[in-house]
Amino acid sequence: MSDAFAITVRGITKRFGARTVVDHFDMDVPKGAIYGFLGPNGSGKTTTIRILCGLLTADEGDGTCLGFDIRREPLKIKENVGYMTQRFSLYEDLTIRENLDFVARMYRMPGRRAAVDAALADLGLSDRAGQLAGTLSGGWKQRLALAACMLHKPALLLLDEPTAGVDPKARRDFWDEIRRLSAAGVTVLVSTHYMDEAVQCDFIAYIAYGKKLISGAAQDIPAMIGLHTWRVQGPEIGALEEELRANPGVGQVARFGAVLHVSGTDAGALEAVARAGMARGLHRWQKKEAELEEAFIYLMAGASDNFAGAAP
């Protein structure tokens, strides 16, 4: 493995019965980066993360995580990564402190009490240390789960839909913590389907129905697709939306409130549509840089469901 990467895998494939859930997946995650793993629910993100952290064995492919072979050294990987699952997985009938102490015991950590105290302080949990985990709100449970993940000072965090079901402020606070950890040198792989979280990432991989569609630096993704976009606003925007969707010069139309983002990969054809729209004088057309959200919608629309027609 290159010293530049925390994760390097090639050809990772996982099947459950006749269904291929992860299909010849490649990934390189640079050390110290926040790497966004994007895709709709059921796209194979969770299965891939479980393979990376040694909880599942791939049917095909190989690679390394933190320098450990994902096939031969799963126990070493588990000892050196922090994995935060989609659902809260700590004990709701234990207090915050008791949960963290239990995790510290599992990792056979020396100086357990001091380590728990430090984790409580780092995540702002000290004042709630005696509160039962089951009585916490979603945002505070999230903080507790992150504290448990970081207790043993892992070099890599694997976060699976970590902000699902929490309020916007809790999500912002969580991402403040993630950026702080990344600045301290921790590598973070985070799966999400929230586009406002994708823009927080240094690198992105899009996955749909088990297949990686594209990966690269976050700011480069729209250009890699070759996507062009126009912003349109004005009266009767709903009728215009329907008209544009039927236009062969338009690749996609995404509505954001009272504004349309009209995109496509044929710049000339799209500009012709825009010029014709401007000539009518009813709507304001403005060329803009394609962004991640347009790219995400475009990629998902072009992906085919590998489960379609499969036996239940």
Concatenating the DSSP letter of every residue in 119-153 gives HHHHTT-GGGTTSBGGGS-HHHHHHHHHHHHHTT-
Q: Determine phi and psi for 229, rounding to 5 degrees.
A: -140, 145
Residue 231 confidence (pLDDT) above 90: yes
Q: Does one domain contain both 86 and 196? A: yes
Q: Does one domain contain both 134 and 252? A: no
Q: Which residues of 202-216 are buried (b: 16+ CB within 10 A; e: fewer)?
A: bbbbbbbbbbbbebe
Q: Does one domain contain both 260 and 127? A: no
Question: Tokens 């505070």 sit at which residue?
Answer: 140
**What total number of domains does the chain contain?**
2
Mean residue pLDDT across the chain: 90
* Higher per-residue pLDDT: 301 or 257: 257
Q: Does one domain contain both 98 and 131? A: yes
DSSP state of 154: -
Asked if the structure places residue 38 within a domain, the reply is: yes
Q: Does one domain contain both 33 and 129? A: yes
**Which CATH number belongs to the domain containing residue 211 in this structure?**
3.40.50.300
Asked if the structure places residue 297 within a domain, the reply is: no
- Long-range contacts formed by 93-99: CB under 8 A, 24+ apart: 93/132, 93/133, 93/134, 94/132, 94/133, 95/129, 95/130, 95/131, 95/132, 95/133, 96/120, 96/125, 96/128, 96/129, 96/130, 96/131, 96/133, 96/136, 96/144, 97/129, 97/130, 99/133, 99/144, 99/148
DSSP state of 13: E
Q: Does one domain contain both 191 and 53? A: yes
Nearest to 137 by CA among 88, 101, 175, 191: 88
Q: Does one domain contain both 163 and 47? A: yes
188 vs 308: CA distance, rounded Å? 32
- Per the structure block, which two tokens stand in for 28? 């390189």
Q: Note the pLDDT of residue 2.
A: 56
Q: Does one domain contain both 207 and 274? A: no
Q: How confident is the model at residue 303 (pLDDT cuts 50, 70, 90)?
A: low
Q: Note the pLDDT of residue 309.
A: 45
Asked if the structure places residue 82 within a domain, the reply is: yes
- Per the structure block, which two tokens stand in for 162? 């970590």
**Each residue of 258-302: pLDDT tens digit?**
999 999 999 999 999 999 999 999 999 999 999 888 888 888 776
221 vs 205: CA distance, rounded Å? 9
The domain boundary, picked from 200, 222, 244, lies at: 222
**Which CATH number belongs to the domain containing residue 268 in this structure?**
3.30.70
Q: Does one domain contain both 236 and 178? A: no
Amino acid letter, residue 136: L
Q: Does one domain contain both 190 and 235? A: no
Least confident of 71-85, 98-112, 155-169, 245-259: 155-169
Asked if the structure places residue 145 within a domain, the reply is: yes
Q: Does one domain contain both 59 and 183? A: yes
Residue ranges making up the domain that contains 280 = 228-289
Asked if the structure places residue 90 within a domain, the reply is: yes
Q: How confident is the model at residue 306 (pLDDT cuts 50, 70, 90)?
A: very low
Residue 310 confidence (pLDDT) above 90: no
Asked if the structure places residue 303 within a domain, the reply is: no
Asked if the structure places residue 306 within a domain, the reply is: no
Single pTM value for the model: 0.84
Cα–Cα–Cα angle for 299, 302, 307, nearest 5°? 105
211 vs 45: CA distance, rounded Å? 10
Q: Does one domain contain both 25 and 145? A: yes
21 vs 46: CA distance, rounded Å? 10
Asked if the structure places residue 312 within a domain, the reply is: no
| 3-class secondary-structure state, position 172 | helix
Helix (H) or strand (E) segment spanning residue 214: strand 211-217
